[in-house]
Amino acid sequence: MSPHDPVIGVLALQGDVREHLITLAGLGVTARPVRRPAELADIDGIVLPGGESTTMCRLLDVFELRAPLSARLGEGLPAFGSCAGMIVLATSILDGRPDQLPLAAIDIVVRRNAFGRQVDSFETDLTVDGIPGEPMRAVFIRAPWVERAGRDVQVLARVGDHPVAVRQRSVLATAFHPEVAGDDRLHRLFLDMVTGPAS
């Protein structure tokens, strides 16, 4: 595949799959839902959407995606996780179910539902390092935050003292939902990570 024409998969087990597919299509990118191991073979990057992280982790096993996706991530497949996707990509989850196993693709410890329950969901304007222009409108829905970040993890944004957007090499993760806010700049950043050298 040409680096100028990447194919992006969106993990399509549960959550905001459609919203990410629409955002990527709006950027002129070929985007495909991923539900089966074979569909991992011909993608250049993958998005893990917002949704319900415990369900997503369980369905990775039901659909036999955990091992092949972990292998691709270990080989450097770029990944972008929003909200539940951040939790699934993390190394460790606080306040998760004992059987909820993340993919350990980025060196962070996340706290589930850190900002509270559904009724505590909120929106705020957020300045994100590496995103030019005005602050982003960030939508937090039963959102996590990063409790601890490894030494090689770059914190891109915070709410108070809590990291809510992070990057480590070719993995990007946000505690909020850029796919529902009508702002495609984080998706553009992710595409730059896919088509350019990882840093």
- Just list the catalytic residues: 83, 177, 179
Cα–Cα nearest to 34, from 22, 23, 46, 25: 46
Q: How many CB atoms lie within 10 A of CB 88?
A: 30
Which residue, among 185, 158, 189, 184, has the nearest Cα to 172 in the 3D structure?
189
Contact (Cβ atoms closer than 8 angstroms) between residue 81 and residue 88: yes
| One-letter amino acid for residue 125 of the chain | D
DSSP per-residue codes, 62-78: HTT-HHHHHHHHHTT--
Residue 32 near residue 9 (C-beta atoms within 8 A): yes
Task: For residues 198 and 168, give the distance between their C-alpha atoms in angstroms, rounded to a whole number.
Answer: 9
